[in-house]
Chains A and B, each alone.
Chain A
Amino acid sequence: MGDEWRIGHRVTRRGFLKLAGAMAGSALLGAFPRLSFGAPSRDVVRIGVIGPLTDFTGRDILRAAQIAAEEINAAGGILGRPVQIFPADSEGVPEKAVPAFQQLVVRDRVHAVVGGFRSGAVLAIVPYVPRFRVPFIITGAASPDIMKPVGENYSAYKYLFRAWVNSTRQALSLALVCRDILRKQAGFTRFALDAENLKWARDYADALKEKFREYGLDLVYETYHDPAITDFTPIFKAAMASKAQVLLQVISNQAGYIIVKQWWDQRVPLALVGNNNPSYLISSFWRDTEGKCMYELSAYTRAPLSPKSLPFWSKFERRYGETPFYTGTGAYDAVYLIKTAAERAKSLDSEALVAALEKIDYMGVIGRIRFDEIHEAITGPDDVPVTYGQWLGPKRKVPIWPEKFALAKYQIPPWVK
Chain B
Amino acid sequence: MDTVLSILVFGLATSGIYALMSVGVALVYGVGRIINFAHGAFYTLGAYLTYLYATRLGLGWWISSFLSIVSVAIFAVLIDLLLIDPVRDDEIVVWILTFALAFATREALVLLLGARPYSIPAFAPGSISIMGQAIAAQRMLIVVVSALAICALWIFLYKSRIGKAIRAVALNRTGAHLVGIPVRMMYAMVMAISASLAAVAGIVISPISVMTPDMGLQPLLLAFTIVILGGIGSLRGSLIASLIVGYAGALVSFLWSPELVTLMALVIVFAVLIVRPTGLFGVAVERA
Contact = CB atoms under 8 A, between A and B. Distances in A.
Complex contact flag A–B (Cβ < 8 Å): yes
Interface of A: 1, 6, 9, 54-56, 59, 197, 223, 225-226, 228-231, 233-235, 237-238, 241, 254-255, 257-258, 261-262, 265-267, 278, 281, 284, 288-290
B71 to A, nearest CB: 23
B122 A226 contact: no
Contacts of A266: 127, 133-136
Contacts, number: 88
Contacts of A56: 115-117
A231 B258 contact: yes
Given A257-B119, A281-B116, A265 B258 contact: no
Interface stretch (B30-38, B176-184, B193-201, B204-212): B204-212
Contacts of B209: 230-231, 258
Q: 4 closest pairs, A vs B, by CB?
A: A56-B116, A265-B136, A254-B117, A267-B134
B105 interface: no
Contacts of A257: 117, 119, 210
A111 B259 CA distance: 43
5 contacts: A54-B114, A230-B205, A255-B210, A258-B210, A288-B118
A261 B114 CA distance: 22
Contacts of A237: 2-3, 6, 254
B258 A225 contact: yes
Contacts of B116: 55-56, 278, 281, 284
Contacts of B98: none
Given A225-B258, A234-B258, A235-B258, A267 B127 contact: yes
A242 to B, nearest CB: 13
Contact of A289 (B119, B134, B136, B253): B119
Given A55-B115, A230-B209, A258-B209, A197 B258 contact: no
B20 to A, nearest CB: 15
A258 B209 CA distance: 5
Interface string B254-266: 1001110000000
A237 B169 CA distance: 48
Contacts of B114: 54-55
A122 B121 CA distance: 36
A241 B254 CA distance: 11
B119 A290 contact: yes
Contacts of B2: 237
Contacts of A229: 258
Contacts of B137: 265
A233 B122 contact: no
B242 interface: no
